[in-house]
């Protein structure tokens, strides 16, 4: 099954909603006239209409009634009232996809007060430049092809993995929160360059491209990170001296703990 030929609606038109709209249109999966959006900010809707030519729905309930696939792209803290609002329009004819962090499919069904074809996903912000990664949770009550539709939508903005919903909090702690960790790495590398005499713009260029290039090298070659580290580190050289400083600072433990704490926080948010 494919998203082509279907109408897609976005309840919430924030950064992630726009990234998905951009990806779907760029991949020619859905035409602009088949994309519907709602948002509490009228100016935001007008902006998306001007830029992409999408359709502005009168309200959330009306949007659900008009489309085949509904992307629930609102903040977790307002998800429940939105679900209660759209519940009268939700039927088994429509596929619902939630990107709200920490909100389980069980909680969504409870708020709707009815069964639904429902998929929970966890994308991340690099989707804004079509380099995201999205985890799609296998759920109950889906029809044949529903996971394919979700995979097609999110493949338009990056890579996709499919796993059990019980692992979604760990995904949130790793890839959902991960761009913040990487941003700190880039900033810290640039700070080091500035300390050693580089100007800020040059240091930032060197740091960001180094992180991008190393990540792409790992992805495209399948190298283990340790192999890349060994490749760069000559005996008694500069790189191994820097690696020793990182190890002395407990960098591995710090990153592992960051993912752990973010995962636990996601679980806390899910429990309300």
Query: DSSP H helical segments within 145-250, as ranges?
Result: 146-155, 168-171, 178-195, 200-221, 225-232, 238-248
Residues 140, 109: one domain?
Answer: yes
Query: Could you tell me if residue 2 is inside a domain?
Result: no
Residues 154, 201: one domain?
Answer: no
Residue 235 is part of which domain span? 178-271
Residues 114, 50: one domain?
Answer: yes
Query: Could you tell me if residue 66 is inside a domain?
Result: yes
Residues 103, 41: one domain?
Answer: yes
Sign of CA dihedral 169, 174, 179, 181: positive
pTM (predicted TM-score): 0.90
Query: Could you tell me if residue 205 is inside a domain?
Result: yes
Query: Could you tell me if residue 116 is inside a domain?
Result: yes
Render each residue's pLDDT in the chain as its tens digit; 272 residues.
Answer: 789 999 999 999 899 999 999 999 999 999 999 999 999 898 999 999 999 999 999 999 999 999 999 999 998 889 999 999 999 999 999 999 999 888 899 999 999 998 899 999 999 999 999 999 999 998 788 998 999 999 999 999 999 999 999 999 999 999 999 999 999 999 999 999 999 999 999 999 999 999 999 999 999 999 999 999 999 999 999 999 999 999 999 999 999 999 999 999 988 887 76
Tokens 């099954």, located at residue? 1
User: What 8-state DSSP symbol labels residue 176?
Assistant: I
| Number of independent structural domains in the chain | 2
Query: Could you tell me if residue 230 is inside a domain?
Result: yes
Query: Could you tell me if residue 244 is inside a domain?
Result: yes
Query: Could you tell me if residue 3 is inside a domain?
Result: no
Give the bridge partners for 11, in sequence order. 38, 72
């Amino acid at each position: 099954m494919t998203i082509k030929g279907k109408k897609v609606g976005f309840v919430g038109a924030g950064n992630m909603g726009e990234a998905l709209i951009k990806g779907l249109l760029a991949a020619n999966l859905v035409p602009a006239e088949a994309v519907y959006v709602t948002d509490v900010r009228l100016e935001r809707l007008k902006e998306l209409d001007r830029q992409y030519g999408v359709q502005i729905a009168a309200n959330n309930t009306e949007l659900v009634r008009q489309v085949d696939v509904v992307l629930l792209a609102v903040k977790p803290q307002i998800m429940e009232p939105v679900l209660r609002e759209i519940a009268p329009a939700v039927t088994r004819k429509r596929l619902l996809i939630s990107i709200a962090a920490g909100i389980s499919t069980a909680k969504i069904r409870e708020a709707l007060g009815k069964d639904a074809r429902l998929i929970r996903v966890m994308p991340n912000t690099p989707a804004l430049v079509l380099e995201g990664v999205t985890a799609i949770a296998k759920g109950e009550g889906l029809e044949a092809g529903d996971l394919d539709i979700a995979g097609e939508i999110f493949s338009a903005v990056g890579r996709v993995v499919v796993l059990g919903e019980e692992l979604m909090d760990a995904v949130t702690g790793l890839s959902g929160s991960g761009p913040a960790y990487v941003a700190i790495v880039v900033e810290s590398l640039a700070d080091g360059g500035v300390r050693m005499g580089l100007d800020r713009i040059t240091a930032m260029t060197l740091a960001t491209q180094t992180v991008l290039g190393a990540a792409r090298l790992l992805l495209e070659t399948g190298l283990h990170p340790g192999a890349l580290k060994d490749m760069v580190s000559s005996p008694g050289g500069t790189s191994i001296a820097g690696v020793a400083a990182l190890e002395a600072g407990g960098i591995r433990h710090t990153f592992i703990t960051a993912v752990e704490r973010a995962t636990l926080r996601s679980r806390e948010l899910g429990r309300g």
